[in-house]
Amino acid sequence: MPHATTVTEFCGLVARSKLVPEAEVNAVHHKWRQETKGTDEDVDAFRKYVVTRRFLTDYQAAVIQRGHADGFYVGDYTILGRIGKGQSAGVYKAVHKSGQVVALKVLPASRAKDPNLLARFQREGRLLTQLDHPNVVRAFHVGQAGSVHYIVMEHLDGETLDEVLGRRKKLPAAEAVRVVWQALSGLQHLFDRRTIHRDLKPANLMVIPAAGPGQADTTLEATVKILDIGIGRELFDEDSPDTKDLQITSEGAILGTPDYLAPEQARDARSADVRSDVYSMGCVLFHLITGRPPFTDKNVMTQMVKHATEKPPALASLVPGVPPGLQGVLDKMTAKKADERYQVPAEAAAALRQYLPDHLAGPAVTDLLPAFKDWLQSESGMDIPAEPRKPATGPAPALATPIVPSGSGTYAPVPARPTAARPAAAQASPAQVPSRPVAQPSPRPVAQAMPLPAEEEEISVELVTLPPPAPVVQAMMPPMEEEERPLSDLNRRDFIMLGAGGGGILVAIGIGFGLAKLMKRATSSDEASDTAAGEKPEPSGK
Ligand SMILES: Nc1ncnc2c1ncn2[C@@H]1O[C@H](COP(=O)(O)OP(=O)(O)OP(=O)(O)O)[C@@H](O)[C@H]1O
C-alpha cells in the first residue's frame, strides 16, 4: 500500500482507520494549518503534531503514514504499539474498550493456518490462564477475532533480563540470587499447577519496573515475571495430540538456546521434567553472576556435550566476592543427573534464601479497572476479587508467595496472588484510548511530547482481516518497503526462511542422535572400566 505523502492523504487514512472520528480529524487538520502554516506536503510535521497531542500513538501514526488504515483492532482491543516479536507471534500493547491497557500476544491469520503453531499457541494460552502468581505473567483471556488468535495478558512495563544483561553485563551476587529466587517461586507455582516451562532463559524473564533514567540501575526493587511458556507442557499429557509438535518446537529451541539446557532435555525434550527447569535456572544464575553462560562454545553440539559431561568453571574463578556457600547451591541446581538436583524449584529457592539481600520490596502487581474486571467476569467467567488487596512489602517472605516445605517433602499449595494496585501503570490515560465508534472516549489533546519512532520501526498490518479498503489517494506512490507488506504475501526471503527452518529441524534431529550416541558411548566406556575394575555388569535381560 502506498505511503501517505500529503497531510490530506494522511487525514483520509486516519478517518478510515476509525481511530479518530472524521470530524475530529478535520478539526485537528484545520487547527494545525492555522497554528503552523504548514503545507500539505509536511506529513512528518503533521504526524509529529498529532502524536504529541496524543490523537494517535507513535505506532499508529507510523503505520498510517505507511499507507495502512486497518489492522488496529483485535476483538475488543485497539492496538497501541508493538512490544515484541517472537518467532511466530507478535506481542502488542493494546487497550480494551473499558480503558484497560493490556499486552496482546497475537498469532496472525497466516501463522494460524499451521496446525502445529496454532496448537502451540492455544496450549500457551490455556496454560497461562490457569496460572496466578506474582512471578508469572498473568493472562486473562484467550480469544479469536476472525482468523486471528490472541492471548490477553497483563501489560508489563519492564525489560527482559536479557536486556538488563546487555546493559549491565552481570549483577552483584545478592541481586542475581534475588532474581533467581523469584523466578523459582514462579516456577514452583507452575509445578503446583502441573506445568513445566522448558525454555527458561534471560529473554523469558522480565523484570518490572525497568530502572528509569536517572535512577540507580538495580533490580533490587524489581519483580521478576516468567514469560513465554509456549513450549511449556502440562505434566502427564504425553498422549495429547500435540506432543509431536512439542518435540519439534523443542528441537527448534535447542538450536536457539543451548546455553541453559539441561542434559536430559537436550537428549529428549519429552524426558524434561521440573528438574530440567531447576537446571536452567542454575545456568541463568551462573550467567547473572559471572556475565556469561556456563559454557560459551558457539558450536551447539559441543555445548550440549559439555552440559552433559563437564563442570562449569567455579564462580570464584570468574568473579571475586561470591559467598562461598553459593557455589554449593549452584552445583546442586546444575548437577548432571536430575536425581542429584533439588527436586522441585521450592527446594532450590529455600537453599538460596540465606543469600538474599536483607530488605526485599513487595511484588508489583497489575491493577485492573473495575469495568475490565466486570467484562472479564461476564466474558470468560474469570473471578477477580472486586477489592484488590495491597501488595505485601517488607522482609523476604513477602516478596512473592512464600514457599513452605511441608513435612512430607511436598510443598504447601500456593495461595491466590494478591490483585492489588500498582498505581495506574496498566490503565490508559484518556489520551491513550483512541476514539472508536464503540463507546470509546475521544482522545483529549495533551501537551506532552512523545518520541517519534525510528524509521525502521517494525509494523504489522496482518492483525485483522478486513475487506480491502477503497483507495483514498491516487497520487503516484513509492514502492512498498519490505516491512510493510502483508505477511500473507510470501516472497523469496520467506521461502529461504522456511527452507532454513526445515533444515534447522533436520540439523536438530541430527544433533539429538549424535548426542545420544556420544552419551551411549560414554556410558559403555564407563561400564567397560567398571568391568575392568572387577565389577560384574548388570544382566542385559537377553
Ligand atoms: N505481558 C507482557 N507485557 C509486556 N511485554 C511483553 C509481555 N509478554 C511479552 N512481552 C515482550 O514481548 C517479547 C516476546 O514475548 P514472548 O517471548 O512471549 O513471544 P514469543 O512469540 O513466544 O517468542 P518466541 O516465538 O521466540 O518463543 C518479550 O521478550 C517481551 O519483551
Q: Which atom of ligand 1 is nearest to the CA of 90?
A: 21
Residue among 132, 279, 158 nearest 219 (CA): 158
pTM above 0.90, yes or no: no
Report how far ligand 1's centroid is from the alpha carbon of 105 (Å).
8
Pocket test for ligand 1, best of 91, 117, 151, 229 (most atoms within 8 A of CB): 91
Amino acid 453: pLDDT: 35
Let me know if residue 125 belongs to a domain. yes
485-506 pLDDT per residue, tens = 333 333 333 333 344 444 444 5
CATH number of the domain bearing residue 179 = 1.10.510.10
Does 258 lie in the same domain as 147? no
Burial label for 320, CB within 10 Å (0-12, 13-18, 19+), is exposed
What DSSP line would sit under 131-186, residue for residue?
A: ---TTB--EEEEEEETTEEEEEEEPP-SEEHHHHHHHHS---HHHHHHHHHHHHHH
Distance, in Å, from the CA atom of 418 to the CA atom of 393, rounded to the nearest integer, reads 12
Residue 521 lies in a domain: no
Give how many domains the chain has, as a whole number.
3
Q: Which residue, judged by its Cα, is nearest atom 17 of ligand 1?
A: 228
Please choose, from the candidates 230, 148, 116, 111, the residue with its C-alpha nearest in 3D space to the C-alpha of residue 494: 111
Highest mean pLDDT among 91-105, 350-364, 459-473, 507-521: 91-105
Residue type present at position 276: S
Q: Which atom of ligand 1 is nearest to the CA of 85?
A: 14
Report how far residue 426's alpha carbon sits from residue 365's, in angstroms, rounded to the nearest whole number.
10
pLDDT tier for residue 508 given thresholds of 50, 70 and 90: low
Q: What is the CATH number of the domain that holds 135?
A: 3.30.200.20
Is residue 18 in a domain? yes
- For residue 209, say if its preceding peptide bond is cis, omega within 30 degrees of 0: yes
Identify the pLDDT of residue 209.
82
Lowest-confidence pick of 71-85, 394-408, 497-511: 394-408
**What is the whole-number distance in angstroms between the Cα of residue 91 and the centre of ligand 1?**
6
Q: Averaged over 388-403, what is the pLDDT?
A: 36
- CB of 197 sitting under 6 A from ligand 1: no
Kindly state whether residue 274 falls inside one of the protein's structural domains.
Answer: yes
Same domain? 116 vs 98: yes
Residue 91 CA: nearest ligand 1 atom is 12
Tell which of 129, 155, 181 closes a domain.
Answer: 155
Q: Which of 360, 379, 399 is the last residue of a domain?
A: 360
Q: Is residue 395 part of a domain?
A: no
Whether residues 177 and 318 fall in one domain = yes
**pLDDT for residue 362:** 65
The pLDDT confidence band at residue 359, using thresholds 50, 70 and 90, is: low
pLDDT, average across residues 30-56: 95
Question: Is 105 assigned a ligand-binding role in the annotation?
Answer: yes
Nearest alpha carbon, ligand 1 atom 31: 84
Q: What is the pLDDT of residues 320-334, one digit of tens each?
A: 999 989 999 999 999
Residue 383: per-residue pLDDT = 60
Same domain, 326 and 230: yes
Bridging pattern class, strands 205-208 and 223-226: antiparallel
pLDDT of residue 210: 72
How far is ligand 1, taken at its centre, from the CA of residue 483, in Å? 20
Q: What is the mean pLDDT of the chain?
A: 73
Q: Which helix (H) or strand (E) holds 205?
A: strand 205-208
* Catalytic residue from among 58, 76, 199, 228: 199
Ligand 1 centroid vs 208 CA: distance in angstroms? 14
**Same-domain check for residues 93 and 58:** no
Q: Is residue 520 part of a domain?
A: no
Q: Rounded to 5 degrees, what are φ and ψ at 10?
A: -55, -45
Mark whether 63 and 77 lie in a shared domain: no
Quick one: DSSP state of residue 231? T
pLDDT in the model for residue 513: 57
On whether both 134 and 276 belong to a single domain, the answer is: no
Ligand 1 atom with least separation from CA of 89? 21
* Whether 175 and 267 share a structural domain: yes
The ipTM estimated for the assembled molecules is 0.95
Q: Is residue 466 part of a domain?
A: no
Ramachandran quadrant class, 39 (left: phi over 0; alpha: psi -120 to 50; beta: rest): beta
C-alpha cell at 266: 537436550
Q: Which of 93, 228, 249, 254 to mutate to test the pocket of ligand 1 (most atoms within 8 A of CB)?
A: 228
Residue 266 has pLDDT above 50, yes or no: yes
Distance 521 CA to ligand 1 centre (A): 40
Q: How far apart are CA 183 and CA 345, in angstroms?
A: 9
**What percent of the chain has a predicted confidence (pLDDT) above 90?**
46
Same domain? For 295 and 324 the reply is: yes
- For residue 453, the surrounding DSSP H or E stretch is none
Catalytic status, residue 199 = yes
- CA of 466 from ligand 1 middle (Å) equals 26
278 in a domain, yes or no? yes
Whether residue 160 has its Cβ less than 6 Å from ligand 1: yes
Probe target for ligand 1 pocket from 165, 227, 246, 254, with the most ligand atoms within 8 Å of CB: 227
Is the per-residue pLDDT at 111 higher than 90?
no
User: What residue has cell string 524434561?
Assistant: 272
What confidence tier does 378 reach under pLDDT thresholds 50, 70, 90?
A: confident
Residues 82, 100 within the same domain = yes
Please indicate, yes or no, whether residues 228 and 332 belong to a single structural domain of this protein.
Answer: yes
Residue 19: give the domain boundaries: 1-70
Residue 525 reports pLDDT greater than 90: no
Does residue 137 share a domain with residue 13?
no
Is the alpha carbon torsion for 117, 122, 125, 130 positive or negative? negative
Q: Which of 425, 184, 174, 194 is nearest to 319 (CA)?
A: 174
Q: Which of 54, 70, 86 is the last residue of a domain?
A: 70
Q: Whose CA is nearest to atom 20 of ligand 1?
A: 86
